[in-house]
Amino acid sequence: VYFLLQSLRQIPRRTISTASRRQIENRVPEKQKLFQEDNDLPVHLKGGVMDALLYRVTMGLSVFGTAYAVYYLAVSSMPKKQ
């Protein structure tokens, strides 16, 4: 218990460093140019290959899920043969 109290007393004394260890390059202007280009792509596909892959996987899962739900509803609506 004593150790815990000592630790809690030292928390306000610690200094918080706001300096980062390395400078991060600002890439916002590059991204702004990329997304503002008029290249007839929807905004959700302008990010490149990973955006297209994520879009296709999402659409595939949506189509599969909808088909499975319709199938399960059809099977559930049929009476079981005895």
pLDDT in tens, 30-60: 999 999 999 999 999 999 999 999 999 999 9
How many domains, in total, are found in the chain? 1
- CATH number, domain of 76, equals 4.10.91.10
Q: How far is the CA of 29 from the CAs of 25, 34, 44, 51, 58, in angstroms?
A: 11, 9, 18, 19, 29
In a domain, 23, yes or no: no
Q: Is the pLDDT of residue 13 over 70?
A: no
Check residue 17 and give its pLDDT: 60
In a domain, 65, yes or no: yes
Q: Is the pLDDT of residue 6 over 60?
A: yes
* Identity at 63, one-letter amino acid code: V
In a domain, 35, yes or no: no
Q: Which residue range(s) make up the domain with 67? A: 41-81
In a domain, 45, yes or no: yes
Query: 45 near 55, Cβ under 8 Å?
Result: yes
In a domain, 5, yes or no: no
Query: In the chain, what's the furthest Cα-to-Cα distance?
Result: 77
Task: Report the distance separating Cα 54 and Cα 65, nearest Å.
Answer: 16
